[in-house]
Amino acid sequence: MILSDFLKAVGQLGDRRFRRVLWLGLALTVALLFGFYAVFLYGIQWVTPDTVTIPFVGEVTWVDDLLSWGSILLMLLLSFFLMVPVASAFTGLFLEDVAQAVEDRHYPALPPARNIPWTEALTDTLNFLVLLIVVNVVAFVVALFFAPFAPFIFYGVNGFLLGREYFQVAAMRRIGRQGARAAFRANVGQIWLAGGLMAVPLSVPLLNLIVPILGAATFTHLFHRVQGSSRARTSPDHR
């Protein structure tokens, strides 16, 4: 079932709305990282004196240059570490477009979905970004002490977070925030498993950047499937 949801999502990757969300998310991510680096570099240059006097050596004038070059290496490391969570969070601002594209193609008989206010979407995105970064930092530290289990920690943690986020994006449009939380609790095992499968491409460069779009599309299919099963179980004919 989950594989079917995923294959349907892959089959729609050529949709122009999917591509639009991808490029918007990437553009905002690159702009944020460059902005962060510019502020960071300015801070280094502001607090570092032009010359430093070292005992037995004398005046040294290259400390500022050394720190500036070191900041480039730091930025590359931060970009590698933060690119995926930041891109995922920014792309999350537009995942409703992906869900709508999926419903337009595969579920055209549905009534119009609830419109999620921009401020609400932005708040959810920022909360998800902070949570994603903090949890991944903690997971990274834990993995240092339990190196053999590092892949399981990474996929398990990110699978849960991605599954919860993408499922709620799809569910909130149809059954509201409280209904989405209830549906998540009722299907947490299946959602976590699907999220874990979404987390696997996170370790593949370039492919990891389309994970948010594939995730939103896959979980839109998953939501409608579990909702259909739930309605079938509670219908009079089924009883």
Q: What is the pLDDT of residues 163-174, one digit of tens each?
A: 888 898 889 889
Q: What is the number of other CB atoms lying within 10 angstroms of the CB of residue 190?
A: 16
112: three-class secondary structure by DSSP? coil
197 against 184, higher pLDDT: 184
* CA 227 to centroid of chain Cα atoms: 24
- pLDDT level of residue 137 (50, 70, 90 thresholds): confident
| pLDDT score, position 104 | 92
Question: Could you give the C-alpha distances from 89 to 23, 36, 70, 83, in angstroms and in order?
Answer: 13, 16, 28, 10
| pLDDT score, position 190 | 92
**Helices 188-199 and 150-186, packing angle to 10 deg:** 140
Q: What is the pLDDT of residues 36-93, one digit of tens each?
A: 666 666 665 565 555 544 454 444 444 444 445 555 565 555 555 555 566 666 666 7
